[in-house]
Amino acid sequence: MNGTNILPGAHDFVVSGTINAARIMNIYNNIGGRVVSDVVIPLVPNPSTRFTGRTEIIAKLKEHFSANPNSGVQRRKYFLLHGMGGIGKTQICLKFIEEMSDHFSTVFWMDTSSVGTILQGLKGICLLPEAKPCMLDGSPESALHWIGSLKENYAMVFDNADVLSPAELEGYFPPGQRGNILITSRNATMQCLTSPENSLEVTEMEENEAILLLLKASCLSSSNIDLKAEASKIVKELYCLPLGVDQAGAFIASGASNIGDYLDKYLHHQGTLLSHSEFTGASKYNKSVYGTWELSYKEIQQRAGSDDFHKARAGDSALFLLALFPFLHHESISEEIFSFAATQDTETMSHPHLPLAHSVLDHKLLSLNEDGTWDNLIFKEGVRVLLSFSLIKKGTSGTVHSMHPLVNAWGRDRMTVKEKEKCSLMAFATLSASLEHNQSQSYGFRRTLVTHVRKNLQYSNNYFDDAYEKFGLLLREQGYSSEAEKLEIQKLEIQVLDARNKILGEDHPATISAKANLASTYRNLGKHTQAEKLEIQVLDARNKILGEEHPHTILAMGNLAATQKAMSQSRKVDNAKNQVHNTSDGVYVTQGMEGENMDAGVPHAGNRVQGEDDAYAVQALANLPSITNVGDRIIHSQKKGN
């Protein structure tokens, strides 16, 4: 681990110096160092004056770094704290260093946010009083050699190592095997430098810690139960993200809001409050919540514009995913969505005159291998970049990812209205393409897809026939049965029917199928009159076009019968019991009545009627309006139709 050979060419560098050195400095940069032209004399900043909690992580660090400190053969100790921006990695490290100030002979605090800051800092180390006797030549290399030669138990902190690769960072480790190295980074792969056992992901604060921090930051008493209750609601909404909590407190302390109003303001102006430049928290962090992630965005953008082909392609792919993910649910973002979208069979797409989501699908990450499988290389590169900035998190399977809800919201809030329209449509078309019409995908996949579809529909308003039909069927199939959920299905189906009526005409089979689906939803909603009206029209049309013995016609009869049965039940007609009894035996009919899907063929009852066993047809017919009034209505409607 000797990095002195990678320094040539580097010229702008930042280091933080010893705790003692701070006393003689008079010009400070924003992390607490002294700037002398391109040199920054490194200082260890203080932790936030309202530092709160994190005792377990600090205890773990203490245990790790204090084991066998005086052993003659002590090997260098390493540790990595990784996690998303604003989660508190640097603060934990600062608190740890403060509490362990007697343990380390010297602490070198390196701002590792760029090669420039590292080089400035290393040069600054040459100016430290402790280094003077060694006559260093002022170069970064000489600083590293000097540190490497120290016999004492020094610590070197590489803070905010977010942009450098692990190999690049390793190049700045001092030679030799003494001392202690602590890294903070958004990039979990830095653990290849420290080993996974010597790494820890920093996650959100405990709720009680977050409440305490909010009250401290708001300058309010932490012993008042009512204030604690208000604070609890706020920190939950902020997912106990320390940066967000600290900033909310600063906002309240400024008098811009009181603790009781804050939540209401936040819910209406989330984007504004999370990007407010005046409330960037205590300490010298200097970035708003959104500003934190914006930094990562800018770095990815820079990579996308790089001359290095591979770097540019990975950056480009990451930007694409960052545009799309905010319009999906923040959890369970499965790679299957993309693999299904890439390999969908477009042959089955019908109705070319209708607006189709499939025709606006962006194929950027959907290319295929020669054998027709999805080529996920570029997708994976983008995912890798997002993971390295902790903008997404890897799930246990490695092919399912999640995004912190606030990052998900930031992804949308940073867009203009036009960008939002474009990106929500991209996500919409991808979801639609990933959903197969014939329900052959696993239940689990389709179940997760529902959450994404419902989230996406909050932002996408344009009508696309294939998507709306599939989404409607998906929601229905997944048993969305509350009143509100059924109304969601109804909304989709009304639009499908309207569009098909206008574009394909009333008699088109796809229009009739849409009518049947909507009728079934009306029936589920208890809107029997509306359901019956449509079902009579469906039956009329099918009688006319397909003939009365066609399975689709029989199915339509069954559906009408079911509606009329439900009507008579609700009217408590005398013979209702018998009718219920009749249909409850007819399992096939009941299942077949749950909507229709033209392209998937006739649902259960129809399939059976058409295929293997004609007895089912007889059974279905027998279970239909055994009852004359239904038959009468059918005949009546047929007469009217003629």
Q: Which residue shows structure tokens 């369970």? A: 332
Closer to ligand ATP at the Cβ: 245 or 423? 245
Closer to Mg ion at the Cβ: 156 or 541? 156
Write out the residues near ligand ATP by the rule CB under 6 A: 48, 50-54, 83, 85-91, 160, 184, 186, 213, 242-243, 246, 281-283, 285, 292
**What gap in Å lies between CA 63 and CA 59, rounded to an integer?**
6
**What gap in Å lies between CA 486 and CA 446, rounded to an integer?**
18
Minimum gap (Å) between residue 185 Cβ and Mg ion: 8
Closer to ligand ATP at the Cβ: 90 or 180? 90
Q: Which residue is nearest to Mg ion (CB)?
A: 90
- Nearest C-alpha neighbor of 203 from the set 318, 86, 93, 307: 86
594 binds, among Mg ion, ligand ATP, none (CB under 5 to 8 A by kind): none
- Sketch the per residue contact string, 190 through 209, with Mg ion: x for CB under 5 A, - otherwise: --------------------
392 binds, among Mg ion, ligand ATP, none (CB under 5 to 8 A by kind): none
Of 4, 16, 90, 434, which one interacts with Mg ion (CB under 5 A)?
A: 90
Closer to ligand ATP at the Cβ: 130 or 201? 201
Amino acid at 452: H
What tokens appear for 327 in the block?
Answer: 């319009």
Minimum gap (Å) between residue 83 Cβ and ligand ATP: 6
Minimum gap (Å) between residue 185 Cβ and ligand ATP: 8
Q: CB neighbours of 7 closer than 8 A, spacing ≥ 6?
A: 119, 139, 140, 141, 144, 171, 172
53 binds, among ligand ATP, Mg ion, none (CB under 5 to 8 A by kind): ligand ATP
**What gap in Å lies between CA 377 and CA 197, rounded to an integer?**
29
Minimum gap (Å) between residue 262 Cβ and ligand ATP: 17
Transcribe 508-524 into DSSP letters.
SHHHHHHHHHHHHHHHH
Transcribe 589-636 into DSSP letters.
HHHHTS---GGG-S-HHHHHHHTT-HHHHHHHHHHS--SHHHHHHHHH
Closer to ligand ATP at the Cβ: 297 or 320? 297
Closer to ligand ATP at the Cβ: 174 or 281? 281
Judged by CB under 5 A, the stretch of 81-89, 203-211, 215-223, 574-582 that binds Mg ion is 81-89
Minimum gap (Å) between residue 189 Cβ and Mg ion: 17
472 binds, among ligand ATP, Mg ion, none (CB under 5 to 8 A by kind): none
**What gap in Å lies between CA 529 and CA 534, rounded to an integer?**
9
Are 529 and 563 a contacting pair, CB within 8 Å?
Answer: no
**What gap in Å lies between CA 563 and CA 516, rounded to an integer?**
12
Reported as half-sphere exposure (CB side, CA atoms, 13 A), residue 519 has a value of: 29
Closer to ligand ATP at the Cβ: 244 or 551? 244
Of 29, 113, 153, 160, which one interacts with Mg ion (CB under 5 A)?
A: 160
Closer to Mg ion at the Cβ: 327 or 410? 410
282 binds, among Mg ion, ligand ATP, none (CB under 5 to 8 A by kind): ligand ATP
Judged by CB under 5 A, the stretch of 155-163, 187-195, 225-233, 632-640 that binds Mg ion is 155-163
Q: Return phi, psi of residue 66, to 5°.
A: -100, 0
Question: 3-state DSSP: the chain helix, strand, coil percent, rounded to 5?
Answer: 55, 5, 35
Q: How far is CA 569 from CA 449, 526, 530, in A?
A: 36, 11, 16
106 binds, among ligand ATP, Mg ion, none (CB under 5 to 8 A by kind): none
Closer to ligand ATP at the Cβ: 220 or 361? 220
Minimum gap (Å) between residue 82 Cβ and ligand ATP: 9
572 burial level (CB within 10 Å; 0-12, 13-18, 19+): exposed
**What gap in Å lies between CA 224 and CA 492, rounded to an integer?**
49
- Sketch the per residue contact string, 109 through 148, with Mg ion: x for CB under 5 A, - otherwise: ----------------------------------------
Q: How far is CA 240 from CA 92, 267, 398, in A?
A: 15, 16, 26
Closer to ligand ATP at the Cβ: 297 or 379? 297
Q: Using CB under 5 A, list all residues that contact Mg ion.
A: 89-90, 160
